[in-house]
Chain A
């Protein structure tokens, strides 16, 4: 690992100050992706700002038709949270299926969303539910947040403090894991909220998570497994690598959509 300076932030202000003073700062939110990347000399931030000690960034709050999750809340705590399970069980199940138990004890929702790994699970939930990304300085709608592989609307030094999810009528996530890494090779999150259907796909897109318009209209007219199966998934812009061809991935998008619809009930 290249040299870096570790900061433990006590408050959001503290964290923002530390980042703004760094030549190339990075938020340490759980480290489950960042630290392996640093170990392999693929990333070399000058400063690491640890936000896990910030009291206001932890935990789950139930609002009026919303669930707000602090950015430093760990996957295991989202998966096990009674409110998340009661209001958005599909989200709790998604969190419970990220990585493995040890990764879920350290990784956080904010870290996952900020990193926007094209094979991560959370971006599918954030986009699929039409959540709002709350930062130290503004709120960003999910549709405006994800800008491509490992790229988001966050400015330099901007910190996600929470994610606010609308409570859907029904929602579920189905994932086909990459056989080796177990990240999503294809993950589909379907949600119906106030008569509105959204479908977000992770793992399959060359530009990261995306909404599947055709699937959304198919499910909007008939929220059923059959209509998920019948929607057309284009191979354009779909990842093609040694693990899965674009054709196979595109096919899996439909299969995972069917399974997500079936789970959503």
Chain B
């Protein structure tokens, strides 16, 4: 057992967890944040993507015990009160989801790629979005509308960043 203290979606949490507990299990079972999904065993589908200290990681391939002191954001933590995050809103507007199972990981990866590209001053083209989605598999949408949603949200996020300056 390890005592782990983290900030999850802005709230401090402290739990004793077995050494083998994965971050995905910690979120789903200990914190009952079931928006983070598990769709494979080999770290490829990306349904489990969350942000740890500002970076997208696969929570199914990360031990909770190793994240003492970490700042974790999940799909449940990105809306601002009643206001959806622009990435969430864009997925709705562009029909970027069907069954919804891969969606949390897609949205978390989408936010991460927009943040990285904007930080580097790079243009997030359709081709780049598709490359960046290497680790997120969707079986329903054929990616067409996911790509459109991320493109749109990238624009909104850039505008918001400008407005905040």
Interface size class of B (residues with CB under 8 A): 20 to 34
**Structural contact, B61 and A100, CB atoms closer than 8 A:** no
- Interface majority SS (helix, strand, loop, mixed), chain B: mixed
Encoded as 1 (CB less than 8 Å from any A CB) or 0, chain B from 59 to 81 comes to 01111011010000000000000
Interface: A71 (CB within 8 A): no
Question: Which of A50, A80, A106 contacts B57, CB < 8 Å?
Answer: A106
A4 to B60, CA, bound (A): 17
* Closest chain A CB from B129 CB (angstroms): 11
Binding site for B on A (CB under 8 A): 1-6, 8, 28, 31-32, 35-36, 38-40, 48, 50, 52, 76, 80, 99-103, 105-106, 181-182
**Structural contact, A50 and B66, CB atoms closer than 8 A:** yes
Residues of chain A with a CB closer than 8 A to B134's CB: 99-101, 182
**Structural contact, A36 and B20, CB atoms closer than 8 A:** no
**Structural contact, A31 and B46, CB atoms closer than 8 A:** no
**Structural contact, A76 and B55, CB atoms closer than 8 A:** yes
**Structural contact, B19 and A31, CB atoms closer than 8 A:** no
- Give the residues from 84 to 131 in chain B that come closer than 8 angstroms, CB to CB, to chain A: 109, 112-113, 116, 120
Beyond A36-B41, A39-B41, A40-B41, whether A52 also contacts B49 by CB under 8 A is: no
Please indicate which of the listed interface residues B20, B44, B116 has the most CB atoms of chain A within 10 Å of its own CB.
Answer: B20
Beyond A8-B66, A102-B58, A103-B58, whether A32 also contacts B43 by CB under 8 A is: yes
Residues of chain B with a CB closer than 8 A to A3's CB: 18-20
